[in-house]
Amino acid sequence: MPRVPSEAAAHIGGLIAEQRKRQGFTQDQVAVLSGIDSSNVRAYETGRSMPNIQSLVRMAEALGVHPGELLDGLKPEMFAVRADDGRRKAAG
């Protein structure tokens, strides 16, 4: 199944990129510092992929920020699944 970008992934990715640039790091430097593959760092920053908690914490540590700073402004509705993305919806 293809990855479907979400508003939440794009939001988190934007915060990661903002912090990285503020620190003066390249994506490759963040990858080395965090132990995360550089292709994943790029995918997170562009919102193509959502980092798991472990990756988020590792990136925050590499960037010298609290993990919560990479979640600032995140809202539950940003995780909404589009009707046409092919994933099953939770019953509710």
Q: Where are the domains of the chain?
A: 7-70
- Alpha-carbon torsion 7, 9, 12, 17, what sign? negative
CA atoms within 13 A on the CB side of 12: 28
Return the percentage of the chain with pLDDT > 70, whole number: 83
Average pLDDT over residues 71-90: 74
* Whole-number Å distance between alpha carbons of 74 and 64: 20
For residue 4, the model assigns a pLDDT of 56
Residues in CB range of 69: below 8 A, 6 or more apart: 15, 19, 60
| Residues making up the chain, counted from first to last | 92
Report domain 7-70's class.
mainly alpha
Please give the pLDDT value at position 90.
55
Look up residue 84 and give its DSSP letter.
T
User: The pTM is what?
Assistant: 0.82
